[in-house]
Amino acid sequence: MQRNPGEGEFHQAVREVLESLGPVVTKHPRYLDDALIERLCEPERQIIFRVPWVDDQGQVRINRGFRVQFNSALGPYKGGTRFHPSVNIGIVKFLAFQQVFKNALTGMPIGGGKGGSDFEPKGRSDGEIMRFCQSFMTELWRHIGEYTDVPAGDVGVGQREIGYMFGQFKRLTNRYEAGVLTGKGLSYGGSLARSEATGYGAVYFAQRMLQKYGQGLEGMRISVSGTGNVALHAMRKAVELGATITACSDSSGYVYDPEGIDVDLIWDIKENRKDRVSAYAELRSGQARFVANDAGSIWDVPCDCALPCATQNELDLHNARRLVENGVVAIVEGANMPCTPDAVGIFRNAGTLFAPGKAANAGGVATSALEMQQNASRDRWSFEKTNQRLEAIMVDIHDRCDELAAEYGTPGNYALGANVGGFVRVAEAMQALGVA
């Protein structure tokens, strides 16, 4: 903690993992050799750089860029890029640390990293976004590569931004190295089903987990926070599997529709009209209701299953109590660390099923690894094939977490299973590679 002052989210993420490793290091004390745990908590490399760019008024702006290359024992660093004003080194480190375990859980040969900038893309023109992405890549290119570090998108970074970054990488290196970035557009090496993967994957995980406890998504009322990439695809897949979306949100507030959110309509509002969720209530007046942030929380709405898909620490102790009082059955984290530790404690005590983001949202990075496979073999798979692989991977992750939770004495504790599963794979590789 003293070595990383002011990095609250990073401390939180590390503590959450270390607290669950007791049973595994007791059984296998060799994992404590050679300061393995200390090395695991220290990034291999952290890069912080200036990103100068020119806005539409001709004014020079400066942002800060980050890439944290956390652990490469299993393969090249792999993890997304976030553009949001809240980004700082502590946020990027927490995301990169979690990514190490998540990537290990997928069973694929990828290490963990994460990056981003405190740039605010909202309200910026297409030209400004392009110039920013080009400037960001003008520094980043020397640190990344198909065999070194493979960034992707995250909050504020979608196919458009990846395209501008890939274009700049190609100009700077004079190399068409398709596998250097994932989340690419289909016209230049992207994979079908990558956009859908995180949201769909979270729902596949939920389905498997519910099945194990004799339940199903059919007929369930689901609240989904956020209306970005993860949330929209999760809503679409959940509805396809027979659930009803009761409420969804953005950073201004939430919208509740007792008849069930019309996913096509909310999709159109967010993706095409680039409007706020309040527009949904206006279009469905008399039926749907918008509640602004200062007047309530999406987690006040009774539901059977909650999918927090927006941002870290968005669901706190108070929200967790409310959900439990209202009879929630399962919480599935689509976002990274959306539930605070207190909230997770409430779910555990109440016996609510809880799927941690490391496991439940791993479908995105797993499909990114499938994109890398397609790039390496100069191949393109069908949507169906990729989606089937995704579903099989999510089922595997679920089953592994479930088995490990039982093996280490707390059946049903998916958070413990995910941490142990990720840890053991990385620890084995680190030990084999010697002290480094």
List residues with catalytic annotation. Answer: 114
The distance of closest approach from Cβ of residue 174 to ligand NDP in the complex, given in angstroms and rounded to an integer, is 30
Q: Which stretch binds ligand NDP (CB under 6 A): 20-28, 123-131, 332-340, 394-402?
A: 332-340
Sign of CA dihedral 319, 321, 325, 329: positive
For ligand NDP, the binding residue among 154, 257, 304, 391 (CB under 6 A) is 154
Q: Which two tokens stand for residue 182?
A: 């994932």
Q: Which of 111, 105, 198 is nearest to 423 (CA)?
A: 105
Among 311, 340, 387, 413, binds ligand NDP (CB under 6 A): 311
Task: Pick the closer one to ligand NDP by CB: 215 or 419.
Answer: 419
Please give the torsion angle defined by the CA atoms of residues 402, 215, 221 and 358, in that order, rounded to the nearest 10 degrees. 10
149 binds ligand NDP (CB under 6 A): no
180 alpha-carbon distance from chain centroid: 19
Q: From the list 117, 223, 227, 386, which residue makes contact with ligand NDP (rule: CB under 6 A)?
A: 227
Q: Rounded to whole angstroms, how far apart are CA atoms 96 and 94?
A: 5
Q: Is 191 in the site for ligand NDP (CB under 6 A)?
A: no
| Cβ-closest position to ligand NDP | 228
Task: Give the nearest distance from C-beta 3 to ligand NDP in angstroms.
Answer: 25
Among 143-151, 171-179, 334-342, 396-404, which window interacts with ligand NDP (CB under 6 A)? 334-342
Under the binding rule (CB under 6 A), the answer on residue 103 touching ligand NDP is no
Within 342-401, which residues bind ligand NDP (CB under 6 A)? Answer: 361, 364
Under rule CB under 6 A, residue 250 binds ligand NDP:
yes
* C-alpha count within 13 angstroms, C-beta hemisphere, residue 188: 18
The verdict on 297 binding ligand NDP (CB under 6 A) reads: no
108 binds ligand NDP (CB under 6 A): no
Amino acid letter for position 195: S
Does 7 sit near ligand NDP (CB under 6 A)? no
3-class state of residue 310 by DSSP: coil
Round the CA-based radius of gyration of the chain to a whole number and report it.
21
Measured from the CB atom, the residue of 130 and 155 that comes closer to ligand NDP is 155
7 closest CA partner among 406, 312, 320, 377: 312
Residue 251 touches ligand NDP, criterion: CB under 6 A: yes
DSSP state of 145: B
Answer for which of 179, 189, 226, 356 binds ligand NDP (CB under 6 A) is 226
Calpha distance 120→82 (Å, rounded):
10
Q: What is the three-state SS of 354-407? A: EECHHHHCCHHHHHHHHHHHHHHCCCCCCHHHHHHHHHHHHHHHHHHHHHHHHH
Residues that bind ligand NDP (CB under 6 A): 153-156, 198, 225-231, 249-252, 309-311, 314, 334-336, 361, 364
